Amino acid sequence: MVYTVTLNPALDYIVHLDRLRPGCTNRSTGDSILFGGKGTNVSVILGRLGVPSVALGFLGGFTGREIQRQMEEAGLVQDFCQVEGNSRINLKVKGEEETEINGTGPAVTPGDLDRLFAKLDLLGPGDTLVLAGSVPPSVPRDIYEAILAGLEGRGVRAAVDAEGSLLRRVLRLRPFLIKPNHLELGDLFGQTLRTPEDAVRHARLLQGEGARNVLVSMAGEGAVYVGEDGTVLRAPAPQGRVVNSAGAGDAMLAGFLAGLAAGKDPAGALSIGVAAGSATAFAQGLADAGAILALEKALPPIERIMDKGEELP
C-alpha cells in the first residue's frame, strides 16, 4: 500500500481576475475552493491512475472537515489525525500573474504527533511512504527524519518531496527516492542549475549523502532520473501551453510511483511521471487519467544519457 503524509493540508481558494489592482476593490471573474497539499495531490493522481493510497496527516476545524468531505467525494481513503484549530486556507489569485497567500495552519501538539507515529508504526514490508510538502511552524523541523528513523529496517520504501533542510536531514536514512525540482536542487548547493547535465551532477552529490534514486523536475527542460545503479535518464518536456504549474511536481512524483507499481522499469515510470506532471501543467487542476495517458503516448522517447560506469561528457 502507498501512504501519503501531508502535515499541513489546505483548502485552496482560487480566484480569477482580469488584473490584480493592489489597494483597490477587485472583483473576480470566477472562483473555486479545492483541497490541496503536496501529499494529497499525490494521492489524487495515484487514484486516477488506479493505484490506491491512504492519506495521512493533520486536519482541524471546519476547513479540515471540508477537506475531508472533498477527499471522500473524490473516492480517496484517508486517516487523518484530528487536531484543535482550523486547517489553513491558501488564497491563489490568478490574473496577469499568479499571486499566492498561504495560511499557517493549526498548532500541532506532541500528543498529535504521537498519534501520527502510531499510525505509521503499522507500515511494513512492501509499503511505500510519501513525505511531501511543508511543515507547520509548530512541528519540529526534523519531523521527516524522525519518521524515517522510526521505520528504518522495516522494508518500507520512502519517497520524499521537500525543500532545504527538510530534505537534507533524511538523506542519511537512504530514502528510496527524492524528488526536488531544479530550483530546489540548486538551492541546496547555492547554485543555479540550467541544464540537465547540471542536474545530474548535483543529483549525484545527493546520492553521495545517502539518496538512492533522484528524480529532478526541470519545468520546460523536462526531467532527469539518476538511478542508484548509475543509470541516468532524461525525459524532454512535451509541447503544450502551461495553464497552471501548481501540483505539476506532485503529479510527476505520483505518476512515477504509479509506473513502478505497475511493474514498469525506471524509463517507463519516468514516462508516466512526465506525462502526469505535464498534463497537470496544461490543465486548470490536477490532470485526469485520460489526459495523462494520451500525453504519454505522444511523448518524445526517453533518452538514456548514460549507463553504469559511464561519465558525463
The tens digit of pLDDT for each residue in 73-116 reads 999 999 999 999 999 999 989 887 888 899 988 999 999 999 99
Please indicate whether residue 36 or residue 119 has the higher confidence score (pLDDT): 119
Residue 283, classed as helix, strand or coil, is coil
Beta strand 88-94 pairing with 128-132? unpaired
- Please answer whether residues 212 and 176 qualify as being in contact, where contact means their C-beta atoms are separated by less than 8 angstroms: yes
Residue 143 backbone dihedrals phi, psi, to 5 degrees: -60, -45
Cα separation, 221 vs 224, whole angstroms: 9
Residue spans of the domains in the chain: they are 2-9+36-87+104-306
Cα separation, 89 vs 12, whole angstroms: 6
Q: What is the pLDDT of residue 97?
A: 81
Cα separation, 26 vs 162, whole angstroms: 34
250 belongs to the catalytic site: yes
Name the fold adopted by 2-9+36-87+104-306.
UDP-N-acetylmuramoyl-L-alanine:D-glutamate ligase (3.40.1190)
290 by Cβ neighbours in 10 Å (0-12 / 13-18 / 19+) ranks as exposed
Q: What is the pLDDT of residue 306?
A: 61
Q: Which of 119, 213, 211, 212 is nearest to 167 (CA)?
A: 211
- pTM score: 0.92
Our CA angle for 94, 99, 105, nearest 5°, is 110
The tens digit of pLDDT for each residue in 165-199 reads 999 999 999 999 999 999 999 999 999 998 889 99
